[in-house]
């Protein structure tokens, strides 16, 4: 039998790159998906040299319907899907470009749903497979100043947990990973001011990716990596929504 194949979206940097490295280390071949072909090819060569992993580079902009359809076709043949691609925008919603907000929904929600559907529809008849969807602790609460991003991640969290329950007993694992502040290129690309984020709130991408893959291996429904994030998640769960909304807005207003 050959090595299992995992497809990772957003594999060109950050947590996505670390997913790919860990999967290769754990015996998977890879299909690497992102817009940056050069980075993907460099990563593929690294993983082949270090772990003997066969790496297929599949450049794609998942907000483009034609390119997304090509990735959907490939997803139907893999053993593991890591839905990691996504981006955020920060600021007052009415002041942000609408086209960008719609692209954010297209990538964070629509592309994730389409790829998850393609994977699950193929995996369930085979009686095995794994789907890991990357959300964020931002999705735990409505966040003024971060409205669209938080809403997309809220969708990913609830959608993935529902699917986890639907697929119990099928042999297909579904896990949602909800990291907090992670040192990647995400904040810079999103124009997010991190100067006021306390050092203790940060995690490194490799530990976040490891937590997600370990959770998927155990078919956990919901994984929040990091002690501070776990405390925050628990606090949000027992705090009235109005208070959470006000606190989230104050935090967001300090960082954009």
Enzyme catalytic residues: 149
- 160-188 burial: b if 16+ Cβ within 10 Å, else e: bbebbeebeebebbbbbbbbbbbebebbe
Question: Rounded to 5 degrees, what angle do the CA atoms 58, 12, 200 make?
Answer: 150
């Amino acid at each position: 039998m050959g090595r299992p194949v995992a497809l990772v979206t957003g594999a060109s940097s950050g947590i996505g790159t670390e997913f790919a490295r860990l999967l290769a280390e754990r015996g998977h071949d890879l299909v690497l998906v992102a817009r940056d072909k050069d980075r993907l090819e460099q990563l593929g060569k690294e993983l082949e040299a270090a772990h003997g992993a066969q790496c297929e580079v599949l450049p794609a902009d998942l907000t483009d319907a034609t390119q997304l359809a090509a990735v959907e076709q490939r997803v139907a043949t893999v053993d593991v899907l890591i839905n990691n691609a996504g981006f955020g925008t920060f600021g007052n919603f009415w002041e942000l470009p609408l086209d960008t907000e719609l692209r954010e929904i297209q990538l964070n929600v629509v592309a994730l749903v389409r790829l998850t559907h393609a994977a699950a529809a193929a995996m369930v008849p085979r009686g095995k497979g794994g789907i890991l969807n990357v959300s964020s602790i931002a999705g735990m609460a409505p966040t003024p100043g971060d409205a669209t991003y938080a809403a997309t991640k809220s969708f990913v969290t609830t959608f993935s947990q529902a699917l986890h329950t639907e697929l119990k007993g099928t042999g297909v694992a579904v896990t949602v990973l909800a990291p907090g502040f992670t040192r990647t290129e995400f904040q810079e690309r999103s124009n997010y001011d991190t100067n006021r984020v306390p050092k203790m709130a940060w995690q490194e991408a490799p530990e976040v990716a490891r937590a997600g893959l370990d959770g998927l291996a155990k078919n956990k429904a919901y994984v929040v990596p990091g002690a501070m994030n776990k405390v925050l998640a628990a606090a949000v769960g027992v705090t009235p929504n109005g208070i959470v909304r006000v606190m989230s807005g104050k935090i967001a207003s300090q960082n954009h």
